[in-house]
Amino acid sequence: MKLYSSKLAPSPLKVLIFLSEKDIKDVEIINLNLAELEHKSSKYKSIAPNSRVPALQLDDGTIILETTAICRYLESIYPEPNMFGNNPMEIASIEMWYSRVTYELATPLAHGFRHTHPHMSKMEDQNQDFGLSQRKLGTKALETFNEIISTKEFIAADRFSYADIQLAVNLNFLVRLNRLELKDYKNLNDYVTQVFARPSFSV
């Protein structure tokens, strides 16, 4: 298998962490330089027509796009350690927290970054007002999640799961890219420090 990835990009990092948690070794990593727009080349578009990383190419040439779809595929063929839930309640909880993190927290922060940061001007049709209002929403969500995490070690279960990859990676990237400080959200900061201490996060 080949994973089309990019150094410093959060979405492929989630797959790299997932591979490491499961100790999957039969994946060749191909890094694209997003700043050089290598992901917009016609060669890469023949693999990923949406010009996004990550993309997983199976040995028969089949392509899987989307981080969660890739991780779900990998979970099916490498079930242990389980990352998406072992029983009905865990499966529901991991899905629920993955979605809440994605839509309530990561999406506004991602828009806040993509629409205001000068580095994104080549990749995004920027709208500053939209970006600033999304950043405001993201800031409110940070306060909410700072409360939510105050009583938990992990976001969705009593063990590390895919929802933690989503939460920790997004916090680590998107907070500072919105020119916010994670240390202003103490419980989230402690959570990120603890999760990033896992060996899989040093990929």
Binder of ligand GSH out of 19, 47, 53, 163 (CB under 6 A):
53
Bond from prior residue into 81 cis (ω within 30 degrees of 0): yes
- Of 2, 5, 1, 14, nearest to 174 (Cα)? 14
Q: Is 9 in the site for ligand GSH (CB under 6 A)?
A: yes
Q: Which is nearer to ligand GSH, 119 or 186 (CB)?
A: 119
3-class DSSP state of 8: coil
One-letter amino acid of 83: M
Q: Is 189 in the site for ligand GSH (CB under 6 A)?
A: no
Binder of ligand GSH out of 52, 100, 115, 135 (CB under 6 A):
52
Stretch that binds ligand GSH, among 7-15, 79-87, 149-157, 183-191 (CB under 6 A): 7-15
Q: Is 39 in the site for ligand GSH (CB under 6 A)?
A: yes
Q: Is 66 in the site for ligand GSH (CB under 6 A)?
A: yes
User: Mind giving me the DSSP string for 99-139?
Assistant: HHIIIIIIHHHHHHHHTT-GGGTTTS---HHHHHHHHHHHH
Q: Which is nearer to ligand GSH, 52 or 100 (CB)?
A: 52
Q: Is 30 in the site for ligand GSH (CB under 6 A)?
A: no
The number of residues that bind ligand GSH (CB under 6 A) is 12
Alpha-carbon distance of 83 to 73, in angstroms, equals 12
3-class DSSP state of 30: strand
Task: Give residues with Cβ within 8 angstroms of 142, minimum separation 6.
Answer: 105, 175, 180, 185, 188
In this structure, are residues 54 and 4 in contact, taking their beta carbons and an 8 Å threshold? yes
Q: Is 10 in the site for ligand GSH (CB under 6 A)?
A: yes
Binder of ligand GSH out of 57, 67, 116, 166 (CB under 6 A):
67
Q: Which of residues 96-135 bind ligand GSH (CB under 6 A)?
A: 123
Instruction: List residues near ligand GSH by CB under 6 A.
Output: 9-11, 34, 39, 51-54, 66-67, 123
